[in-house]
Amino acid sequence: MIQPSVFEQIISTQRRSKKKPRESLWLISYADLTTNLMALFILMLSMSQVSAQKFDAVSHVVTRQRTDSLDELKKQIDDEIQKRGLRSSVTTELGMSGLMVEFLGGVLFEQGSDKLSDFSSKEALPILQILQKTDPKYMLSFEGHTDDVGNDDVNWALSSARGVALLNKMRELSVAQERMSIAGFGSTHPKVTYKGKTGIELEKARAANRRVVIRVYQ
């Protein structure tokens, strides 16, 4: 019997190996794909965590700077309010949307008028001058509100005209007009409800709702 050469044995072995089932070969590719996807997701997750941390850090700094700046503005206005004895008629409030300065009816305008009063020229003007000095990055909005007495159309027009009057006053103080806006709400946004009130209580509610609001925001 002739023994096959080493070369023939190798060829025969390769031929037998080629005849083996190939059904399980896809598992190798699947495992590679799964590993690559896992690595990709881990990389994306790590990048998103870093970005979130950076975003939170930057957001905190920006918010802190904004709050610090408006805190100082609020303090200056509050000091002026205290100095001029206006605590019962001018209030300030600092919130997430910015700083609100509210003037109750009679401080800036006489009842039913859209002309700035003599009182406002003497007592309220220093507050407007403080607002005039705010950083140009801040916007100023002037909102007019009336009580529920009279014709709705008249109230809408009056509240809007008061916003315009304030805007014009701030223009005289050299505030850029692109930083300012107005809103007239008439009697549609009462601060104090009228429901169930009569007599003196009703008049107090109406007096509280006759107001002008200046908002400082970014």
- In this predicted model, which residue has the larger pLDDT, 103 or 64? 103
Contacts of range 24-27, beta carbons closer than 8 Å, 24 or more positions apart: none
Q: How far apart are CA 86 and CA 128, in angstroms?
A: 14
Instruction: Output the pLDDT for position 73.
Output: 96
**pLDDT computed for residue 59 by the predictor:** 44
Q: For 130, what's the count of Cα atoms within 13 Å in the CB-facing half-sphere?
A: 19
pLDDT value of residue 24: 55
pTM recorded for the entire structure? 0.69
Query: What is the Cα Rg of the chain in Å?
Result: 36
Provide the angle, in degrees to the nearest 10, between the axes of the packed helices 125-132 and 152-172.
60
What whole-number distance in Å separates Cα of residue 82 and Cα of residue 76? 10
DSSP for residue 109: B
DSSP state at residue 9: H
- The whole-number pLDDT of residue 30 equals 61
Token readout for 119 is 């009182």
Q: What are the tens digits of pLDDT across the range 16-52?
A: 554 455 555 555 566 666 777 777 777 676 666 545 5
Domains (ranges, CATH) in the chain? 64-217 (3.30.1330.60)
Task: List strands edge to edge, sheet with 139-145.
Answer: 90-95, 98-104, 211-217, 139-145, 180-184
